[in-house]
Structure 1
């Protein structure tokens, strides 16, 4: 039987905050305003429609793969729909959907991805997480353990040693978690429950009242579990009240796409990738995934980890979610179940995904050897600060005292250990070690501890560590706080980027080498642009030069402006920036006292090609291009000398850029 005939609606690739619906979906959206038990037939009818694919929504390699996977596994007809809850027995056994949500908020789906069904036991990891966030892991573990049972999910049995449910993925444990909702009244508890699930799904969810009533009317085994737990002290409230919220928890309506987003929230270490909202702390996610890995698939958990190798959770409505931390969440919906309550098609789909894309958690994908992207010394690569010939000679001699290590990828124990080992060896004779974090995905606690030890080790050798691209990087939240004591004692520091860190290290070396900074205000003869001019020529220029003052942070020139003036810095420092604006542009040069900027105006007379911003309060001399050309008639040697100085300056900058490129090859 063709899956297109029965269930497939074309898979779609949707962005983080937008969904595109065809006109045929309008009726479905309207129908969502109805109670779920009334609109089931509407969704079933929609699911079977043979709708032509939209080129904008049904394209790309991932979609093609999911469509093909759905087609190839739709012929599996083993198993049966759960019937111990009468309302679940009404599910169409041919319903089938697959969804994958990545940690950057992209969702791919195939099949009946809009069909709503009830979440059932797939709710359990999320309620466990909510209990940890609300009460703390210590309080939660007094109510439930974390050991696999080896028994069915609805066993009436507790841990003999602690007299508590074995884990939160079986019914007994989930009932204990339901009582840990913070709200006190039934209505408030339901509101808390739906708000919590909505944060994971990225949209508002509701309860299927028909399924809730059916569960409540037939949940006698769960009642036995609840009264047994009341007797053991694992629940405190009236069992019927606790069971009521548990039945409602299992009856929340979701789609396959919702579950994929919920799973990807766990994959993204607790941040919903669609909404961007922080839902869980990373430590909570770690605890939840640990229990899912060992207990999430009931009696099949061991074989599942062997075959698929991903933390997962199944439910008797036919849903399975699986999580690949740091990458994606998977959801599959197919109501045909095996003997232990897992979706047969769902298990097969996850096996295929794990095999075809090497998703198994224990496949070697964390090669720590690539953590050091590049390393070089300050005599090989210099900052973009324009330097005099004398300063460049000094840096060529002592630049080896500066080392730069560019890190990349995630930093955990294995990668951080290699990074600090390579850095310590490379910085044997260094005064400053710059560790660049621009390409670091995140830093965990182990890596932070190791990096702190690196700071102490190098400080004992007289070497300071400078970390760059840390501030403002959401992936590195908490790193600065963790190093606060070392920052306060000047054992290490933070800098915005490699270029500024290099400039500061170079300045320190030049100061030690006796290259004192310029006087407060330079005479014309000391300015780079006018070097080589005689006294009479300088006197002739003096009447054409104006003084300009700029505040720190002020934009002096903007790209695209008419080029009419040449500037020479007499005091202070300016940055030449290329990019979208002066706040975020990349610094390509830094110009200090005695050096010029905007001189291309004299060469080509075109538009400004970059922004120039004052780094400090700046005093600059400015001379109009037209005035220089006027002087040429009377004193041609002035313009000839200035041209020669400009060419010499540009040549020096090009040589520096070439040295930089050679070092980074």
Structure 2
């Protein structure tokens, strides 16, 4: 099943591709011949999952997107105090190549403009046998998760035509901001701008910043958290130069653009976004990059004000219903069907806030379901806040599930998603408890894969599974000793504490067993239907009833009373032994189901 997020990215890629404003950067001749139709969008989550559409593998030079990564390396090398002494953290409000130096000291306003970026490059030192540029390139490569290289043609063109940057470097040297010969610094700066990347690389680099400096693909910690914090702060206020105010208002993520057409945006704790499209606006940013970022931020609610909390996976657990059976007693044939086909119904437990990152993890899980899954149960009982984007994506995911023949089932006692599925063509089954949802799925699986005969509405005593080990003659003898009883819907058949009253064989209808909860509420244990028995477990509890038994609908039963059982023990010991063997076997089967369900409740 295609992910709704993939579908959405394809849609906005198709629509924004029609934008024809702007022109590729031409100041550096080697960059002027790029195809203006190149357009790629790549989004990488902090757990390393990637969505991509368009020209995401087309290589281009990193240009000014290099600035935050070199700045981070300088911070890691020297510490904030030493770096702050050379380059400030204030927005300049100027274009990327403006001369924004503090009067008197000559300190650049920030590390995102060219003067500050040249300063940051000068602060990186050779170390461990590696030159300054090898360390810079190594850092970029660690951020990208692969070895990057330099486009030598563009580097030479930068050297030949980068007169303003050369002038800035010498001006910085005159203030002793750059402390040595600026020529090697200029060359290293031009080389770092000429590093070749693609949209996928930039997305991983952005996701590494989003992941507190740890590459989500390789697991390598590239930058310490304190340095990441400073880098993202400066990107927020200064990364988009004289367009920073508009960007933070409409997109709301730390970002950096480059004149080759790349744009990155970082939502800390959640996702890294990269867009590539060469035509630029008057601020030197990609026209399609701006438009796509604005759409994504608005539609996916990625603005930092909306998505302020860390985007941990919303998935608490995922398993099939064989791990948490409903507790309903089934025939042996029905149990065989559930053992073989129980994997076709999956439970996904969600928790926390369903913001973008949490929703993405849920949608990814739904999109990756095996083809033979018939039902997916979403357990929403631990979900707190649900963003509008989550409701929309879940609605689209449900439509996609329906197309591939998979039904959505909800555990949603609070009605969290009630409005989302209010007007759908096929109602979404919704339950208050997991037991009820699993019971419904079990019944559907038995019907689909075992035939309707496995869920009879009416049976004879001889068809009750508990008596299956007995001979027909023994069953007939027992039946003759049974009492015939009926109970109306809602009638309490047995109460907690009552003495053993016999073994009840359900011929039609359903009953439910429950126990008192810690706060006085009733906790449902099992639902029993035609062919099932109850009452005999009291024999293992000092002959006292430990559950309340209530009729869910009109019920018809046969009862082998306590006095009838005593009479059998006196008059036909052999039949009594066979009866107890059969009931013991059935009880062990039930206890096994109880233990599995109890284990899940304890885990909860």
TM-score under structure 2 length normalisation = 0.52
* CA gap 1:651/1:178 in 2 versus in 1, 3 angstroms: same
Q: Deviations over 1:485-518 (max 9, x none)?
A: xxxxxxxxxxxxxxxxxxxxxxxxxxxxxxxxxx
Aligned to 2:71: 128
Q: Deviations over 1:608-639 (max 9, x none)?
A: xxxxxxxxxxxxxxxxxxxxxxxxxxxxxxxx
Query: 165, 170, 175: which one pairs with 2:113?
Result: 170
Q: Deviations over 1:151-197 (max 9, x none)?
A: 11101230226420000000000101111222189982232121111
Note if contact 1:101-1:108 (Cα within 8 Å) is conserved in structure 2. Answer: yes
Structure 2 CA distance, aligned partners of 1:364 and 1:217? 45
Note if contact 1:270-1:282 (Cα within 8 Å) is conserved in structure 2. Answer: yes
Give the RMSD, CA atoms, in angstroms. 3.7
* CA gap 1:232/1:184 in 2 versus in 1, 3 angstroms: farther
1:151 aligns with 2:73: no
Deviation at 1:272, TM superposition (A): 0.3
Structure 2 CA distance, aligned partners of 1:358 and 1:287? 24
Structure 1 CA distance, aligned partners of 2:26 and 2:597? 74
SS at match of 1:70: helix
Deviation at 1:342, TM superposition (A): 0.5
Aligned to 2:133: 190
1:262 aligns with 2:190: no
Alignment of structure 1 residues 336-375 onto 2, 5 Å? 336-363=279-306, 366=309
Query: 55, 71, 89: which one pairs with 1:112?
Result: 55
Deviation at 1:650, TM superposition (A): 13
1:253 aligns with 2:253: no
Query: 328, 333, 349: which one pairs with 2:271?
Result: 328
Deviation at 1:240, TM superposition (A): 1.4
* CA gap 1:662/1:328 in 2 versus in 1, 3 angstroms: closer
Deviation at 1:135, TM superposition (A): 1.0
SS at match of 1:321: strand
1:96 aligns with 2:39: yes
Aligned to 2:548: none
SS at match of 1:331: strand
Note if contact 1:316-1:335 (Cα within 8 Å) is conserved in structure 2. Answer: yes
Aligned to 1:238: 181
* CA gap 1:67/1:141 in 2 versus in 1, 3 angstroms: same
* CA gap 1:367/1:200 in 2 versus in 1, 3 angstroms: closer
Structure 1 CA distance, aligned partners of 2:10 and 2:602? 48
Note if contact 1:156-1:224 (Cα within 8 Å) is conserved in structure 2. Answer: no
Deviation at 1:367, TM superposition (A): 11
Structure 2 CA distance, aligned partners of 1:117 and 1:330? 17
Aligned to 2:14: 71
SS at match of 1:235: coil
TM-score under structure 1 length normalisation = 0.48
* CA gap 1:142/1:660 in 2 versus in 1, 3 angstroms: same
Instruction: Answer with 359-368 or 219-228: which moved more.
Output: 359-368
Aligned to 1:84: 27
Alignment of structure 1 residues 445-464 onto 2, 5 Å? none
* CA gap 1:340/1:185 in 2 versus in 1, 3 angstroms: farther
1:278 aligns with 2:228: no
* CA gap 1:199/1:662 in 2 versus in 1, 3 angstroms: closer
Structure 2 CA distance, aligned partners of 1:137 and 1:125? 14
Aligned to 1:204: 147
* CA gap 1:316/1:657 in 2 versus in 1, 3 angstroms: closer
Structure 2 CA distance, aligned partners of 1:92 and 1:662? 59
Q: Deviations over 1:60-93 (max 9, x none)?
A: 3222222221110001011111111111111111
Deviation at 1:653, TM superposition (A): 12
Structure 1 CA distance, aligned partners of 2:100 and 2:124? 23
SS at match of 1:90: coil
Q: Deviations over 1:563-596 (max 9, x none)?
A: xxxxxxxxxxxxxxxxxxxxxxxxxxxxxxxxxx
1:138 aligns with 2:56: no
SS at match of 2:99: coil
Query: Which consecutive unaligned segments of at least 5 residues does structure 2 have?
Result: 317-350, 354-381, 383-585
Query: 296, 303, 308: which one pairs with 2:239?
Result: 296
Deviation at 1:656, TM superposition (A): 10
Note if contact 2:92-2:100 (Cα within 8 Å) is conserved in structure 1. Answer: no
Alignment of structure 1 residues 577-616 onto 2, 5 Å? none
Query: 62, 76, 80: which one pairs with 2:5?
Result: 62
Note if contact 2:105-2:175 (Cα within 8 Å) is conserved in structure 1. Answer: no
Q: Deviations over 1:288-337 (max 9, x none)?
A: 10000000001110110000000000011111000011111000011110
Note if contact 2:88-2:107 (Cα within 8 Å) is conserved in structure 1. Answer: yes
Note if contact 1:128-1:288 (Cα within 8 Å) is conserved in structure 2. Answer: yes
SS at match of 2:272: strand
Structure 2 CA distance, aligned partners of 1:253 and 1:223? 22
Note if contact 2:270-2:310 (Cα within 8 Å) is conserved in structure 1. Answer: no
Note if contact 2:213-2:223 (Cα within 8 Å) is conserved in structure 1. Answer: yes
* CA gap 1:409/1:181 in 2 versus in 1, 3 angstroms: farther
Aligned to 1:215: 158
Structure 2 CA distance, aligned partners of 1:157 and 1:320? 23
* CA gap 1:69/1:184 in 2 versus in 1, 3 angstroms: same
Note if contact 1:186-1:241 (Cα within 8 Å) is conserved in structure 2. Answer: no
* CA gap 1:224/1:108 in 2 versus in 1, 3 angstroms: same
Note if contact 1:186-1:245 (Cα within 8 Å) is conserved in structure 2. Answer: no
Runs of 4+ in 1 over 6 A off after TM superposition: 184-187, 647-665
